[in-house]
Structure 1
Amino acid sequence: MDDREKAAVPRWGRNHPGARSLAEGYTTGKRTLEVFSVSSCIFLFFIDTLLLLSHTQRSHVTWIIADIVFAILAADFSSGFVHWAADTWGSVNIPIVGKAFIRPFREHHIDPTAITRHDWIQTNGDNCLLTLGPLCYIAYQLMTKGSEVTNQSVFFYWFWFILALFVTFTNQFHKWSHTYYGLPKWVETLQDWHVILPRKHHRVHHVSPHETYFCISTGWLNYPLECIQFWQGLEFVITKLTGIKPRQDDLQWANKTE
C-alpha cells in the first residue's frame, strides 16, 4: 500500500478496517450468552430487592447510605481496573476470552461511537454476567438464613447489592457518555451532577494512546488515581517483570490498514 492509499484509510470510525474486522467478531454464541446474562440478572435483582427490603428496618437507613457511597467507589475502581486490564494487556486472539471480552475494548478505541449503536443486551450483557455470582449469593444467604440475618450482615448484603447494581449499569453509563444527542433530561442531569460518568470527563480517556481516566462508572476516582500515577505504576511493574509493553495489541488494531 503506497502513501496515497494509506492516507485514504480512515483513522477511526466504523469504516476503519480494524473496526470493521472487530465488529464482525460479534457472534451468535456471544449474543446468546448476553441474553442469558441480562435475563438472569433482572430476575435476581428483583428477588434480592424483595429479600433485602424484608430484612431492613428504618434504623438501618443511615448505614445503608454509607453502603451506597462505599459501593459506588468500589464499583468505580472495579470498572477502572477491568477497563485498564482489557485496554492495556492481552489480545483478541486469546482463546474464548479474546473474542468475547477483549474484542469490544479494541473496537471501542477505533470506533468510539459503536457503543451508541449497540442495543441494551449487547451494551450490558458482559457486566450482567459479572454480577450473577454476587446476586446469587445474596439471594441464597437471605433465603436460607431467614431470621438469623443480623444488622451487620444486612449492611454487608446491601453493600454487595449496590455494588452489583452499579457494576451492572457501568457500561450503560459509559454508553451515555458517548451519546451527545437524544439523551433523557434525567440522564443529562445525573451526568452534570457527576452521579454517573459525564461526557466531557470521559473524553480525556479517548485521547490516544488511551492511558488514563479508566474508571467509567462515575469517574470519581480518575483524578486521584491519576495524581498518584496508579495505572502507570502498575504498568511499569508488569513491564519490568514480564518485558511485555502495554497496549501493543491495541495499537496494532488502530494501525490496521486492510
Structure 2
Amino acid sequence: MVMLTEDRFEPPSMTEEDPNQNGVGETKDGTARWGPQHAGAKELANQYTAGKRAQETICVVISIALMVGNLYFIVKHFNIDNWYIILPAALLGIVTADFFSGVVHWAADSWGSVELPIIGKALIRPFREHHIDPTSITRHDFIETNGDNFAVLIPVIAKMFYGFYTGSPEEIAKNYNWNCYLFLLAFFISITNQIHKWSHTYFGLPRYITIFQDLNIILPRKHHRVHHVAPHETYFCITTGWLNYPFEKFGFWTKLEELITLATGAKPRDDDLKWAKKTN
C-alpha cells in the first residue's frame, strides 16, 4: 500500500473549495455522493437532539469556568526559574493531546455503530456524519462543535482546581509541573474539534489561524485532507497532526486493526460504509 501524505494522495478526496457546503458530486443513479443532501447525512444530522444540546451547553460553561480558574492558579504560582521543566511538560501535553485525538478519532471512525446505547448517538453519530458531509462541522456553532470535548475534561480539571484551591504552598509547588502538563493537555483537547473545524474552513478564517496552520502549530487544512480519502483509514490525529506521519510510516493504526479483527472478527469501518451507501 502506498503511504499517503499531503503531497501524495489519491483522488477523490472531498471537494471543499466551495463555500463550505460540500454540495457537489453525484453517483451514477443521481443521488448525492456526499454533502448535506446525502440521505445518510440528513438522517444523522436530525439525530442531534435538544437534550444533547442542553448537556453540551452545561458542560461547556462548567469546563470553561474551571479552565479559567486553573489558569489563574498556574499564573499565580509560576516560577521563572523552573522554565526548563515547565516548557517540556507543556510541550508533552500538546503531543499527548494529539495522540488522544487520534485514538478517539480512530476508535469512533472504525468501530461500533450509531445504534449502540448511549455512545452511539452521543459519540459515534458525529463521526459518521462527518465522513459523508465533511464540512457540516463548519456549519456547527461553538457548542455543537466542542461540547463533547469539554465534557470529558470536567473530572480532570475539577480535580486540578480542587488541588490548587485547597493545597498548601508545598503541595502546589510539588505538583506544579504535572499540573502544567495536564493544563496544556486539557486545553488542547478542549479545542481539538475547533481546530478540526478550522481545517475544513476554506473561507473567512482569521489570518492568525491560517498562520498557525501554515506553521503546523495546529492541524493544517491540506494535511487533514489526506484523512478524507476513502476509506478514511489514516491520519487520525487532528489536534496538531504531528503524530500522523510517524504513525502512518510504521503502520500503527493498521496493526491495531489487524489485532482487533484477529481477536474479535470485527472489520473496521463497516458501519461507516453502511451510512455512506445510504440512499433513502
TM-score (norm 2): 0.89
Select 1:178's aligned residue among 200, 216, 226. 200
**Alignment pair present for 1:27 and 2:49:** yes
State the distance in 2 between where 1:214 and 1:8 align: 31
2:105 aligns with: 83
Match of 1:233 in 2: 255
In the other structure, the counterpart of 2:126 is: 104
SS in 2 for 1:93: coil
Distance in 2 (CA, whole Å) between partners of 1:113 and 1:78 is 22
Does the CA-based 8 Å contact 1:6-1:257 persist in structure 2? Answer: no
Q: How many residues align?
A: 255
Change (3 A) 1:170 1:148: same
Q: Does residue 176 of structure 2 align to residue 154 of structure 1? A: yes
Q: Which amino acid aligns with 1:20?
A: K
| 2:65 equivalent to 1:50 | no
Q: Does 1:133 align with 2:155?
A: yes
Residue number among 251, 255, 258 corresponding to 2:273 in the alignment: 251
Equivalents in 2 of 1:123, 1:27: separation in Å? 14
Give 1:220's aligned residue: 242
Inter-partner Cα distance in structure 1 for 2:264 and 2:73: 47
Q: What is the CA distance between 1:50 and its match in structure 2?
A: 1.1
Residue number in structure 2 paired with 1:68: 90
In 1, distance between residues paired with 2:34 and 2:172?
54
Distance 1:187 1:15 in 2: 29
Q: Is the 8 A contact 1:30 1:100 kept in 2?
A: yes
Task: Find the partner of 2:29 among 1, 4, 7.
Answer: 7
- Structure 1 unmatched runs, 5+: none
Corresponding residue number in structure 1 for 2:165: 143
Report the 3-state secondary structure (helix = DSSP H, G, I; strand = E; otherwise coil) of the residue aligned with 2:81. Answer: helix
Moved over 4 A (4+): none
Specify the code of the residue in structure 1 equivalent to 2:118: I
State which of 168, 172, 189 in structure 1 corresponds to 2:190.
168
Q: Work out whether 1:201 is the aligned partner of 2:227.
A: no
Compare the two structures and name the one with the higher helix fraction. 1
Return the alpha-carbon distance in structure 1 between the equivalents of residues 245 and 206 of structure 2. Answer: 27
1:225 and 1:235 map into 2 onto residues whose CA distance is: 13
1:149: how far off?
Answer: 2.1
SS in 1 for 2:143: helix
Contact conserved, 2:145 with 2:194, CA < 8 A, in 1? yes
Deviation at 1:6, TM superposition (A): 6.2
Post-superposition CA distance 1:77-112 (Å, at most 9, x none): 000000000000000000111001100000000000
5+ residue gaps in structure 2? 1-25
> SS where residue 191 of structure 2 aligns?
helix
Q: Which amino acid aligns with 2:185?
A: L
